[in-house]
Amino acid sequence: MSLVFGERLGGVLLYKIPPGKQIYPHTDMGWHVDYYEKFNVCLKTNPETAFYYHGEEMKVKEGDVHFFRNDIPHWVKNEGLTDHIVLTVCIKTER
């Protein structure tokens, strides 16, 4: 939290996408989206999994951490042979 000047820890979501599955395109809405910044921590993945924002593909490696906005269209496709596991951490920052 100190690296992103966090003031408050919000929800923490652990999700797994099995091989051949996906999180379909969606946009999150509500107070939580407006209040917290979202950070994804990649725990397990494979080269055939991608995160998409507005159709732009982003590949991550295990251990990668990235900020993302969930108030814009996003989705994930796992076309690999192993699970894709991510920890999403919500942090209220000073910004």
- The pLDDT tens digits for 46-89 are 999 999 988 799 999 999 999 988 999 999 999 999 999 999 99
Residue type, 6: G
Cα–Cα nearest to 90, from 17, 45, 33: 33
Q: Please report the pLDDT score of residue 68 as a whole number.
A: 87
Averaged pLDDT, 25-48: 94
- Check whether 95 has a pLDDT greater than 80: no
Cα–Cα nearest to 40, from 88, 76, 77: 88
Q: Please report the pLDDT score of residue 1 as a whole number.
A: 87
- Cα 42 → chain centroid: 8
How big is the CA angle at 58 (ends 45 and 39), to the nearest 5 degrees?
Answer: 75
Q: Please report the pLDDT score of residue 31 as a whole number.
A: 86
**Phi, psi (degrees; rounded to nearest 5) at 82:** -130, 165
Q: Please report the pLDDT score of residue 54 as a whole number.
A: 80
Q: How many CB atoms lie within 10 A of CB 15?
A: 13
- The pLDDT confidence band at residue 14, using thresholds 50, 70 and 90, is very high
